[in-house]
Amino acid sequence: MKILVVGSGGREHAMVWALARSPRNPILYCAPGNPGIASLATCVPLKADDVAGLKDFVIREQIDLTVVGPEAPLALGIVDEFRRAKLKIFGPTKNAARLEASKVFSKEIMAQAHIQTARAKSFDKTADALGYLEQHPLPVVIKADGLAQGKGVIIATSRAQAREAVIDSMDKAVFGPAGRQVLIEEFLDGEELTVMAFTDGRTVVPMLPAQDHKRVGDGDTGLNTGGMGAYCPAPLGTPALREHVTRKILQPIVETMARLGSPFQGVLYAGLMVVKGVPYVLEFNARMGDPETQVVLPLLKTDLIEIVQAVVEHRLDQLAVEWHDDTAVCVVMTSGGYPGAYQQGFPILGLPVQEDRQAMIFHAGTAMKDGIVVTAGGRVLGITGRGVTLHEAQAQAYQTVAGIGFQDCHYRRDIAHRALR
């Protein structure tokens, strides 16, 4: 069986890693992949958003199944294009992926599905947005409507900061076309939780709950990032809360999208804020989270290929998805300066030659130069430790991190601190 994974980050490395562990021994390809993925799959020099090139490759190489990692190709309609060519692909259509690609659309769908979320108002004119801000209580959340690589959300604690966020997004276009329209949203004070689910458009199978660490600094300080680490399962996601999220959030969204003629197939990601035990939806994503994937998939017992095929063939209700009882902690090692400006091209020292069963190293922003693995992005590596307890998993992750280094390396030293506290 030939499988192509689309993408090049830590999420895709974890997906390739999980697929490679299948007893079916698939032949794996990844486009474009990275040096870490290259040890498990044949890397193909095609960009993740090159839909036409990817389709030609799949037809030429007779690929049996394509699995899409990042959001950009989904928003471009890769699934629609592949289905028109009768090619099997895992992921939602362009219209279903609008749940992530447009925060305004997502809010409209949540209203139709009667899902609890923060109150928000959208604006496409800067003056209107600035006027609305003057009366809005602080803190306030400003979100770029479109895809902004996890950086289009600003939590403003002052009016000046809020105004600056709106002007940066709408007038200065710091997020490109994604920020032409903004959402001004009430700030919810609680604890974040991620619940992802496999869905074939009808059946919803939730994954283990994880908690991401968005802020760049220890103690959840500093700028928002694409994710500085995660752990799973998060104790906040109790069985009762998970059942509530499935019944009151995930299932209604899937049913609403199907009723609107855009059934959602693939992975539905619910980013939640739990306020006094009540989950509110902060955002939906149309694919697996990064770095949550690096802690969730290592705990998956069921063959990922079986799950993906069941989703694509609309028979997820016939499959029992099982999980290991362990815990996992992922620490993201970043380039100094991230999420702002940073330098790259520095050699990465200390990468182990062989895989350790208790510690996995997922490449996110790396490249090969003169036979040496070098930094090539803001988030460089995701180091996942696994253990029976959260303490064991955290210790394993940080022990592995301590043996790896590159110039200007930065990482948080308190991943999983909320649960351990």
| pLDDT single digits (tens) 31-51 | 999 999 999 999 999 999 999
Tokens read off for 257: 């999208």
Region 279-302: mean pLDDT is 97
DSSP assignment string, 273-302: EEETTEEEEEEEESS--TTTHHHHGGGB-S
Distances from the Cα of 61 to the Cα of 50, 56, 279, angstroms: 16, 8, 45
Sign of the CA dihedral with 356 first, then 236, 363, and 335 last = negative
Co-location of 299 and 377 in the same domain: no
Q: How far is it, in rounded angstroms, from Cα 256 to Cα 264?
A: 9
Q: For helices 251-259 and 103-112, give the axis angle rounded to 10 degrees.
A: 100
Could you tell me the end-to-end alpha-carbon distance of the chain, in angstroms, rounded to an integer? 46
Burial class (CB in 10 A: 0-12, 13-18, 19+), 317: exposed
Question: Which among 259, 291, 318 is the end of a domain?
Answer: 318
114 belongs to a structural domain: no
Residue 92: other Cβ atoms inside 10 A:
27
Co-location of 261 and 368 in the same domain: no
Region 241-259: mean pLDDT is 97
Q: Are 419 and 274 in contact (CB under 8 A)?
A: no
Q: Which residue has the tokens 């694919």?
A: 287
Q: How far is it, in rounded angstroms, from Cα 303 to Cα 265?
A: 18
Question: Which among 169, 186, 203 is the end of a domain?
Answer: 186
> Can you give the residue range of the structural domain that contains 52?
2-98
Q: Are 284 and 215 in contact (CB under 8 A)?
A: no
Q: Average model confidence (pLDDT) for the chain?
A: 96
Task: Average the pLDDT over each of 273-287, 342-356, 373-387 and give the range with the smallest value.
Answer: 342-356
Q: How far is it, in rounded angstroms, from Cα 67 to Cα 79?
A: 10
405 belongs to a structural domain: yes
292 belongs to a structural domain: yes
Co-location of 241 and 334 in the same domain: no
Tokens read off for 292: 């949550």
What pLDDT is recorded for position 220? 93
Sign of the CA dihedral with 157 first, then 160, 161, and 167 last = positive
Residue 157 has pLDDT above 80, yes or no: yes
What pLDDT is recorded for position 378? 97
Q: Which residue has the tokens 């001004």?
A: 184
Co-location of 310 and 341 in the same domain: no
Q: Are 55 and 62 in contact (CB under 8 A)?
A: no
Co-location of 198 and 144 in the same domain: no
Residue 36: other Cβ atoms inside 10 A:
24
Question: Any idea what the CATH number is for the domain that residue 171 is in?
Answer: 3.30.1490.20
Q: For helices 304-312 and 10-20, give the axis angle rounded to 10 degrees.
A: 100
* Residue 357 CA neighbour count, 13 Å, CB half: 3
Q: Are 129 and 170 in contact (CB under 8 A)?
A: yes
Co-location of 241 and 144 in the same domain: no
107 belongs to a structural domain: no
113 belongs to a structural domain: no
Residue 354 has pLDDT above 80, yes or no: no
Question: Any idea what the CATH number is for the domain that residue 75 is in?
Answer: 3.40.50.20
Q: For helices 126-133 and 159-170, give the axis angle rounded to 10 degrees.
A: 170
Co-location of 213 and 134 in the same domain: no
Residue 104: other Cβ atoms inside 10 A:
18
Give the pLDDT band of residue 421 (cuts 50, 70, 90).
confident
User: What SS3 class is residue 194?
Assistant: strand
Segment 88-145, tens digit of pLDDT: 999 999 999 999 999 999 999 999 999 999 999 999 999 999 999 999 999 999 999 9
Q: How far is it, in rounded angstroms, from Cα 87 to Cα 85?
A: 6
Backbone angles phi, psi at 215, to 5 degrees: -75, 150
Distances from the Cα of 339 to the Cα of 152, 157, 303, 377, 398, angstroms: 12, 19, 35, 10, 22
Question: Any idea what the CATH number is for the domain that residue 198 is in?
Answer: 3.30.470.20
Enumerate the H helices of 92-158 as residue ranges: 98-101, 103-112, 126-133
What pLDDT is recorded for position 215? 92
Residue 201: other Cβ atoms inside 10 A:
19
The structural domain count of the chain equals 4
Co-location of 223 and 246 in the same domain: yes
Co-location of 309 and 249 in the same domain: yes
Q: Which residue has the tokens 């509530």?
A: 244
Tokens read off for 223: 């700028």
106 belongs to a structural domain: no
228 belongs to a structural domain: yes
What pLDDT is recorded for position 152? 86
Q: How far is it, in rounded angstroms, from Cα 396 to Cα 298?
A: 14
Residue type, 411: Y
Co-location of 29 and 74 in the same domain: yes
Segment 207-217, tens digit of pLDDT: 999 999 999 99
Q: How far is it, in rounded angstroms, from Cα 267 to Cα 204?
A: 9
pTM of the model: 0.94
Co-location of 210 and 309 in the same domain: yes
Backbone angles phi, psi at 210, to 5 degrees: -130, 160
Co-location of 202 and 299 in the same domain: yes
Question: Which among 98, 127, 142 is the end of a domain?
Answer: 98
112 belongs to a structural domain: no
Q: Are 12 and 48 in contact (CB under 8 A)?
A: no
